[in-house]
Chains A and B, each alone.
Chain A
Amino acid sequence: NAGVTQTPKFQVLKTGQSMTLQCAQDMNHEYMSWYRQDPGMGLRLIHYSVGAGITDQGEVPNGYNVSRSTTEDFPLRLLSAAPSQTSVYFCASSLESDGYGYTFGSGTRLTVV
């Protein structure tokens, strides 16, 4: 039982490049979400999904896309990387959105130069 797996752990991108951050969970959790963490800002919600085929925007969705074709996977796509997207990205999942704690991945540290 691996929990929530994020890949890669580290990534350096050039401005304008695109990439996909991967997130997979093996706990049959319906609810998955992506956060970014910046110094002094806590965690900010980017996108979330309440189940396969359903996604919605969080607090800071601009510049990011998501899809949820399966229950297990919830990739985050950066369309055209900008230095402002330099951050640590966390994926998290829970059984449902209401009443259950999150299991977090170990994070992806992204630097955009």
Chain B
Amino acid sequence: SQQGEEDPQALSIQEGENATMNCSYKTSINNLQWYRQNSGRGLVHLILIRSNEREKHSGRLRVTLDTSKKSSSLLITASRAADTASYFCATDSNRDDKIIFGKGTRLHILP
């Protein structure tokens, strides 16, 4: 079964607004990553947060990690049309070398 589950499944917001999507996972992890996938393309790595980190920033992206709740959130500030994509979280368990993806959140930025 899949380790990470993103929430919501789909999200539509106005350009300029902030977008928040969440990821919950089941087992203890070493790291959690977020990826973006534009329609019909491969995935692009956005950010990695380690299990001993609580928050990380990269440009307009802010990722938080709460290992006690086994959850992470990805915040995209000041959204742009180019942010329209699917976003996936991926976790690597501390029990094996598998990197498991969730089902993703489809983000649509409205003009």
Contact = CB atoms under 8 A, between A and B. Distances in A.
B2 A56 contact: no
Interface of B: 1-2, 30-31, 33, 35, 41-45, 48, 50, 88, 90, 92, 96-104
Nearest to B30: A98
A41 interface: yes
B88 to A, nearest CB: 6
Contact of B45 (A41, A59, A97, A101): A101
A33 interface: yes
Given A40-B103, A41-B103, A99-B31, A31 B97 contact: yes
Given A45-B98, A48-B97, A98 B48 contact: no
Contact of A97 (B97, B103, B104): B97
A45 B2 CA distance: 9
A74 interface: no
Given A58-B98, A102-B43, A97 B2 contact: no
Interface of A: 4, 31, 33, 35, 40-45, 48, 50, 56, 58-59, 90, 92, 97-107
Q: Classify the secondary structure of B's interface with A.
A: strand
Contact of B35 (A4, A58, A102): A102
Contacts of B92: 97-98
A105 B97 contact: no
Nearest to B31: A99
Contacts of B1: 59
Across the A-B interface, give the 7 residue pairs with the lowest CB-CB distance, nearest first: A101-B45, A42-B103, A104-B42, A43-B101, A97-B97, A104-B43, A106-B42
Nearest to A56: B97
B45 A103 contact: yes
Contacts of B42: 4, 90, 104-107
A79 to B, nearest CB: 22
Q: Most chain-B Cβ atoms within 10 A of its Cβ — which of A40, A42, A50, A105? A: A42
